[in-house]
Amino acid sequence: MKILLIDDHALVLHGLAELLESRDVEVLASANNGKDGLQLAKELDADLILLDIMMPEMDGIETLKAIRKSGIDIPVLMLTMSHDESHLQAALKEGAQGYLLKDMDPDELVPALEDAISGKNVVAKELVGALTRIVQGKPKKQDIPSTPISNLTPRELEILKHLAEGKSNKVIAKELGITYGTVKLHVKAILRKLNATSRVQAAVMAVHQGLSRSQKHNP
């Protein structure tokens, strides 16, 4: 299985490449923007493209559209942090084979890639309800008033609760059974989404929202 990665975050690209190669998946190349990704898609004989959505200048949907317009018909899977139904709908409309979320279980990624290559449509389980509404032509689920914290994924919320208790990345990784690097990626995403300048500021926001699981900090 030969994969092309397109994502504007260097840490995500590095982590994905390591994850896939540790599972005997060949990463042909990676690009940190849509324009370079499109050029690589034309040049390389990839079996599948993993494509981010939230990228500057040329976002994932525009890149997907350009890929299909150029005649490339290999499977493209969106791999994103966005739960937005409009992104899911646009991706499927432009010819994506599926839509996955970056906080998915790493062990589920390769089977999803294999399913996509075999012709199956792959959608994150968290978005199956949205997919059903799209297929049935039903209106988008009514939005509720949002706060920055409401934009976090379940895994990010879980990690934010640990941050609010003053725990280090190493301790969080041990308690959640995930790697230190994965925790770092999630913390970076949390700070970006909360527009926080430090983990301390993020923790204070969490406490104000009542997210701390206890008021005592672990040593």
Q: Which domain holds residue 171?
A: 148-208
Strand-by-strand arrangement of the 122-123 sheet? 26-31, 2-6, 48-51, 76-80, 98-101, 122-123
Q: What average pLDDT does the segment 6-24 reach? A: 91
Which residue has 């012709």 as its token pair? 119
Asked whether residue 114 falls in the same domain as residue 165, the answer is no
Q: What average pLDDT does the segment 125-144 reach? A: 68
State pLDDT tens for residues 148-187: 777 788 899 889 988 888 888 999 999 999 999 999 999 9
Is the residue at 89 inside a domain? Answer: yes
pLDDT of residue 214: 47
State pLDDT tens for residues 29-43: 999 999 999 999 999
Is the residue at 214 inside a domain? Answer: no
Is the residue at 142 inside a domain? Answer: no
Of 77, 112, 136, which residue is a domain's last? 136
pLDDT of residue 144: 40
Q: Does the pLDDT value for residue 218 go beyond 80?
A: no
For the chain, the domain total comes to 2
